[in-house]
Amino acid sequence: MSSRRVLISGAGPVGSALALLLTEGGTPRDALTLIDARAAADAESDPRLIALSEASRGLLERLGAWPMDSAAPIQTIHVSQRGRFGRTLIERSDYDLAALGYVVRYGELARAMNGATAKLGLDVRRPARLLHCEALSGEVQVTLADGPDLDAAYVVHAEGGLFERQSPLSIRRDYRQTAITGVVRVAHPRVATAFERFTEEGPLALLPAHRSDPSQYALVWCCTPEAALRRSGLDEARFLEELHAGFGDRLGRFLGVGERATFALGLNAREDVARFREFAIGNAAQTLHPVAGQGLNLGLRDAFILAGLLVEHLDAPLTCMQRFGAARRLDRTATLNLTDLLPRVFASKLLPVAALRGAALAFLDLVGPARHVLARQMMQGQR
């Protein structure tokens, strides 16, 4: 048996955060291995823009893995519904925070995390794709697609992934929505303000995308798969016209759009995040609809809790298994339910539901406590 205690499969943001947290907790370098199927340069060129909460920023900054120079702060979140008056504002000043959250480029985050693991001299192997695991009595044996077998006391699955490419898990819903993403430029920016607008096709989010150029917004436009296909093929002028029709006038005219990408959206989650000597965290445990920007934030909380358990109970696999599942239940359930409900309620054409959602937004705006519950869930999840 080797001295390796923890093998983390997937050096994306969640797997890397776990490695950094374990090291911070005193796990020796030679007890830890990270493997990843793709080259670092691939991850570092991923253009996806991701909203992270203030709590996630705090964690990543502490771990020396926060892309400080490029993160664009969000100080106000404006939530509205197309064709209805209801709207609600969530303001940083209500929570006494420097920002409600930040928008970062996945590639910049990957670079910061790779820099932090390299600085600590951690054992990171790429490309190395996990094919298969087998838990034996005192260890887990790991078969790789592209190298000799490895063994470890624990294997953590942080292989992440996108809904359309994952094997189906026990909790699954296809929303029949596709997100079109890209960076747009607007005529009348509102500094540090993010917009989440619910339309009958799905939510449309515009997030401040650049720290020093407020005219750049990250677009996540959830539409039917057919509309997404058609819109992706439109020329720039027609695309921006349709976007204006969907979003309205709050940011003035749309002046341009960069490269567009599409992502099929669904919920794909497992009930058993902990098995004997094996754990699943991040998107390997749950892939969510991107509404309200919850996926990576939730994954980082998975990593935080698991690191604490492994540091404290490294020689007690049964305890780790039982406590991890229990410790993640409330936060996972609340976040899964929120991101599962929002895109369906707002996309429903049933009249009673349509009437209720305008009322729901007005309610959120009028009743402070309800807005705070939503804001807190978005900022820090359930602890």
Ligand X SMILES: Cc1cc2nc3c(=O)[nH]c(=O)nc-3n(C[C@H](O)[C@H](O)[C@H](O)COP(=O)(O)OP(=O)(O)OC[C@H]3O[C@@H](n4cnc5c(N)ncnc54)[C@H](O)[C@@H]3O)c2cc1C
Q: How far is the CB of 224 from ligand X (least distance, A)?
A: 16
Tell me which DSSP letter residue 75 carries: -
Q: How far is the CB of 359 from ligand X (least distance, A)?
A: 27
What is d(CA 242, CA 225) in angstroms, rounded to the nearest whole number?
A: 16
What residue ranges bind ligand X (CB under 6 A)? 9-15, 35-38, 43, 48, 50-52, 129-130, 158-162, 179, 181, 220, 263, 282-284, 290, 293-297, 299
Q: How far is the CB of 366 from ligand X (least distance, A)?
A: 27
How far is C-alpha 109 from the chain's CA centre?
12
Q: How far is the CB of 74 from ligand X (least distance, A)?
A: 10
Nearer to ligand X, 222 or 320 (CB): 222
> What phi and psi values does residue 6 have, to the nearest 5 degrees?
-130, 125
Nearer to ligand X, 80 or 181 (CB): 181
Pick from 186, 231, 237, 236: which is nearest to 213 by CA?
186
Nearer to ligand X, 78 or 316 (CB): 78
What is d(CA 326, CA 24) in angstroms, rounded to the nearest whole number?
A: 24
Pairing of strands 261-269, 286-287: antiparallel
Nearer to ligand X, 208 or 293 (CB): 293
Q: Is the dihedral of CA 326, 298, 59, 382 positive or negative?
A: negative
Pick from 156, 143, 150: which is nearest to 277 by CA?
156
Pick from 275, 302, 277, 278: which is nearest to 288 by CA?
302
> What are the respective helix, strand and coil percentages of the chain, to the nearest 5?
40, 30, 30
Nearer to ligand X, 195 or 263 (CB): 263
Nearer to ligand X, 9 or 117 (CB): 9
Nearer to ligand X, 117 or 297 (CB): 297
Q: How far is the CB of 355 from ligand X (least distance, A)?
A: 29
Q: How far is the CB of 292 from ligand X (least distance, A)?
A: 8
What is d(CA 48, CA 103) in angstroms, rounded to the nearest whole number?
A: 10
Q: How far is the CB of 65 from ligand X (least distance, A)?
A: 12
What is d(CA 322, CA 336) in angstroms, rounded to the nearest whole number?
A: 21
Tell me which DSSP letter residue 12 carries: S
